[in-house]
Amino acid sequence: MTLSGKKALVTGAASGIGAAMAHRLAADGAHVYAVDLVAVPAAEGIEPLVCDLTDLDAVDALPADVDVLVNNAGRQHVSPIEDFDPALFHAILTIMLEAPFRLVRRVLPHMYAQGWGRVVNVSSAHGLRASPFKSAYVAAKHGLEGLSKVTALEGAPHGVTSNCVNPAYVRTPLVEKQIADQARAHGIPEDQVVEQIMLTPVAVKRLIDPAEVAEFASVLWGPASASITGVSLVQDGGWTAH
C-alpha cells in the first residue's frame, strides 16, 4: 500500500470530508492521527486525538511525526460584514489559517528529515472565488491558499509537496447547518437555498459526496504526486470556469 509505514494527521476528522480523508488514508496504509473536538470512533489504523484548534498551545502539542498532513477542520458563519461577530471572525481564522500554519511548522522538520512529506490543505471554491456574507471563511481560505504555496516553495528541496483541494458544495453537516442562515441573509425560503444559492455557481448541478473529495485528494499522496506542488486542484463542478 502506498502509505504503509507512514503516519498521517487529519484535522476535523470526525465528520464530513475529514472523516472520508482519514478512512482513505488508513485504507492506503497510513496510521492516522484523527484530530477533532470530539473523539473520532476508533477504527483500524485510526487513532483519535481530541484537540480544539482554537487552542494553539494544544495544536503545538499534537504529534510531529507526520508524513501526510491534511489541514481540513473548518466552520462556516453566514452574516453580512457589518453584523459579523469579530470574535467569531477571529475563531474561524484561527481554526482555518493559524492552526494550519502551526501544524505545518510543527511537522516540516520530520518531513525534511525523511526527505518526503505531503501537505494537503482542504481549501474550497471559496479559496479562489468570493461569495457575499462569508467574510471570515473566504478570507481564511484565500490565506490558506497563500500558506500552501509558500510551503510548496520551501518544501520542494526536501521532497515535501503542498497543495490545496478546492471542492464546490459537499454534502456535509457544515453545509446543512448553514441553510437557515443563508435563507435569512439572502431573504429566501430555506427549501430554495440549495438550488438558488449553492447550485447557482456550478455547471454540474449536484452536491459532491465527501468520499469523492478523498478519492480526488489521494492523487496528492499517490505514486504520481512528487511533482504536483503549489497548485489548487479544483473539484468545483465548473464554478471557476466562469
Ligand X SMILES: NC(=O)c1ccc[n+]([C@@H]2O[C@H](COP(=O)([O-])OP(=O)(O)OC[C@H]3O[C@@H](n4cnc5c(N)ncnc54)[C@H](O)[C@@H]3O)[C@@H](O)[C@H]2O)c1
Question: Residue from 3, 34, 36, 67 that binds ligand X (CB under 6 A)?
Answer: 36
List the x/- string, 74-93, binding to ligand X by CB under 6 A: xx------------------
Nearest distance from residue 112's CB to ligand X, in Å? 26
15 near ligand X, judged by CB under 6 A: yes
Q: From edge to edge, which strands make up the β-sheet containing 7-11?
A: 46-50, 31-36, 7-11, 68-71, 117-122, 160-167, 232-235
Please spell the DSSP secondary structure of 3-14, one letter per residue.
TTT-EEEEESTT
Residues marked as catalytic: 137
Nearest distance from residue 163's CB to ligand X, in Å? 14
Task: For residue 30, give every residue at least 6 positions away whose Cβ sits within 8 Å of its Cβ, in sequence order, or none.
Answer: 3, 4, 6, 7, 8, 45, 67, 68
194 near ligand X, judged by CB under 6 A: no
73 near ligand X, judged by CB under 6 A: yes
47-66 binders of ligand X (CB under 6 A): 51-54
List the x/- string, 100-139, binding to ligand X by CB under 6 A: ----------------------x-x---------------
For the chain, how many residues are written? Answer: 242
Q: CB–CB of 168/212 below 8 Å? A: no
Let me know if 31 is exposed, middle or buried by CB neighbors in 10 A (0-12, 13-18, 19+): buried
95 near ligand X, judged by CB under 6 A: yes
Q: CB–CB of 236/170 below 8 Å? A: no
Task: For residue 54, give every residue at least 6 positions away whose Cβ sits within 8 Å of its Cβ, in sequence order, or none.
Answer: 91, 94, 95, 99
235 near ligand X, judged by CB under 6 A: no
155 near ligand X, judged by CB under 6 A: no
Which residue minimizes CB distance to ligand X? 16
67 near ligand X, judged by CB under 6 A: no
14 near ligand X, judged by CB under 6 A: yes
3-state SS, residue 186: helix
List the x/- string, 161-190, binding to ligand X by CB under 6 A: ------x-xx-xxxx---------------
Residue placing its CB nearer to ligand X in the complex, 18 or 237: 18
3-state SS, residue 35: strand
Q: How far is it, in rounded angstroms, from Cα 109 to Cα 121?
A: 18
152 near ligand X, judged by CB under 6 A: no
Nearest distance from residue 226's CB to ligand X, in Å? 25
Q: What's the one-letter identity of residue 146? A: G
Question: Which residues of the shown chain bind ligand X in the complex (CB under 6 A)?
Answer: 11-12, 14-18, 36-37, 51-54, 72-75, 95, 122, 124, 167, 169-170, 172-175
